[in-house]
Structure 1
Amino acid sequence: MKAYMVFDIGGTYIKFAVMNKHGMKLESGKIPTPQTGLEIFLQKTSEIVTQYRQSYAFQGIALSTPGAVDVKSGYIGGASAVPYIHGVPIIELIRERTGLDVSIENDANCAALAEGWLGSAKETDYYICIVIGTGIGGSIVMNHTILRGASLHGGEFGYMIMVDPLNNPLRSTWSQVASTNALVQEVERRKSLEKGSLDGEKVFRMAAEGDAIANKCITVFYKKLAAGIYNIKYALDPEKILIGGGISKRPEVIEGINQELRNLKDEISTLDITVEACQFDNDANLMGALFHFLSIKSTKRGFNLTWQDN
């Protein structure tokens, strides 16, 4: 059976799936991300390919990775929790090990492509995904194409300076003041709890149980997110703004952000700005990586792949 091997490389786990051209998972699993270096990484991923190659005729390998990915050269710039994948010809190294064609794309871009292919932006030509987690990342998609930017930092919304631009601007970026991690740290600080004792799920549970500090911090969290989204809307004016990351699955988060966006309207700022949740969660990066691979192959064959061609 023809299939594709897809990897989503994260700081804690490498998720993998055997997928068909329609984005359906045929097999899947995950392994701890090797901490000892590139050679072990190449060995582990090659072993997974070999294991499933006995049952499937692989047409290629699609990678989703962190970092500033150059999709043409296969090199990854910037920094991430997997340092050894940076600055090396990762797709060439995997191709040498497996003999298969390999594609690579940034993980946030993969999530955005998945939404345009089969998710919340399926009928949308111009949209933005904002991924909220440890930091804030994202992607800009126009005419089904990732807007990468001159330095491959298009969509890195978390670098926006939100407060204190004169005294300490690089300590007040959107990631630092409005990420899920920032929310958790603020609740820990205000409740004098040990750092690392809470996570996002615990904070929202505390709020649901009536904890006043947790509720206050979440309200401020929504305001800070809305301020950044307001800036993005007026700067780029996309058709849709999608919210991804673990918290996007909480309906109260989407409604909380939208309420604060409604509060930002006046006689001058008249746009109706709203956000929607991304449809895909754990599988988004895998699906988007596959779509990216299929797009490259279809272009090389001389025709344009659309969202519906798969």
Structure 2
Amino acid sequence: MKTYMVFDIGGTYIKYAVMNDQALKLESGKIPTPKEGLDVFLQNITEIVTRYAKVFDIQGIALSSPGAVDVKSGFIGGASAIPYIHGVCMTDLLKERTGLEVSIENDANCAALAEGWKGVAKETDYYICVVIGTGIGGSIVMNQTILRGATLHGGEFGYMIMGNPAKDPLQSTWSKLASTNSLVEEVEARKSLAKGTLDGEEVFRLAEDGDPIAKECIVHLYKKLAVGIYNLKYALDPQKILIGGGISKRKEVIEGINHELKQLKDEISTLDISVEACQFDNDANLIGALFHFLKRDAGSGPASHV
């Protein structure tokens, strides 16, 4: 049976799995992301591949990575919590060490591809994925293909300016106004708490316990998210709009955003706009990275099933 070694590179952990061509995990695990630098990182990846290659017929390596990934060259631009992965040709480095073909894709794009292959966007030709976390990112997918843009910034929805452009516009981006991080900071400020006192889970827990400030700030978050999603719908007009990130697992978040979207209608703005949660959580990047690897090879495996 043909199998693939798949890695999801994160700031804290590197998750990995041996998967078949339908994304069934045969083995999996995780290791702390090395702090020492690139050499240790490459050594750790190589050791994992070598170990499983003794047991499985490994056909190649699929990577999910943060940063502005150039899938053609294998270089990772931009910035992330792992500075040493940037500015090198990661695919070539790993191919030299393992002798296997290597593919790489941005982590948010992997999550979106996973939804098109096996998730809620299956059989959907054109959709976008909005990932809400410390900031807001995302992906645009059309006909199984990520729309990357001229500078690999396609889907970077968090850069949209949502506030008053005449007053410090770069402090009013969607990421700064409507991310999970912005929600936490607003609650901390209004409750006169030190920065870093709360996290997103604690804010929602406060709201569930009836805290009026937390409840009000969460409603404000839904409104700000709805406005950005409204803009994306009218600018891009996708068939589906998916919400990812940890916050999307809360049913009340999807319901709250959809409630606010219903308010954004009048005799001119007549579209029925709604969002739905991504299906996959922890495995999304692994599944999407595998799909990206398989799709590179014309006529291989599941590419036609998206």
Query: Could you tell me the TM-score, scaled by structure 1's length?
Result: 0.96
Aligned 1:65-144 pairs, distance under 5 A: 65-144=65-144
Cross-structure match for 1:306: 304
**Whole-Å separation in 1 of the counterparts to 2:175 and 2:303:** 34
Q: Indicate if the aligned counterparts of 1:3 and 1:56 stay in contact, CA closer than 8 A.
A: yes
Q: Indicate if the aligned counterparts of 1:127 and 1:141 stay in contact, CA closer than 8 A.
A: yes
Q: By how many angstroms is 1:185 displaced?
A: 1.1
- SS of 2:297's partner is helix
Amino acid at match of 2:268: I
Q: By how many angstroms is 1:174 displaced?
A: 0.5
Q: By how many angstroms is 1:169 displaced?
A: 1.1
Cα deviations by residue, 1:168-222 (Å, 9 ceiling, x for unpaired): 1111111111001111111111111121121111111110010000000000000
Q: By how many angstroms is 1:304 displaced?
A: 9.2
Q: Indicate if the aligned counterparts of 1:66 and 1:106 stay in contact, CA closer than 8 A.
A: yes
**Whole-Å separation in 2 of the counterparts to 1:44 and 1:298:** 30
After superposing on structure 2, the runs of 4+ consecutive aligned residues of structure 1 that deviate more than 6 Å are none
**Whole-Å separation in 2 of the counterparts to 1:243 and 1:188:** 25
Task: Tell me if 1:226 matches 2:237.
Answer: no
Cα deviations by residue, 1:112-140 (Å, 9 ceiling, x for unpaired): 00000010000210000000001100000
Cα deviations by residue, 1:66-95 (Å, 9 ceiling, x for unpaired): 111110100111111111111101100011
Instruction: Give the gaps of 5 or more residues in structure 2.
Output: none
Aligned 1:26-45 pairs, distance under 5 A: 26-45=26-45
Report the number of matched residues: 306
Amino acid at match of 1:206: L
Aligned 1:1-310 pairs, distance under 5 A: 1-298=1-298, 305-307=303-305
**Whole-Å separation in 2 of the counterparts to 1:234 and 1:134:** 25
Q: By how many angstroms is 1:96 displaced?
A: 0.7
Amino acid at match of 2:305: W
**Whole-Å separation in 2 of the counterparts to 1:112 and 1:186:** 29
Q: Indicate if the aligned counterparts of 2:22 and 2:302 stay in contact, CA closer than 8 A.
A: no
Q: Indicate if the aligned counterparts of 1:298 and 1:304 stay in contact, CA closer than 8 A.
A: no
Cα deviations by residue, 1:270-290 (Å, 9 ceiling, x for unpaired): 000000000001100000000
Q: By how many angstroms is 1:305 displaced?
A: 2.9
Query: Could you tell me the TM-score, scaled by structure 2's length?
Result: 0.98
RMSD between superposed Cα atoms in Å: 1.3
Q: Indicate if the aligned counterparts of 2:162 and 2:172 stay in contact, CA closer than 8 A.
A: yes
| More deviation, 50-59/258-267 | 50-59
- SS of 2:151's partner is coil
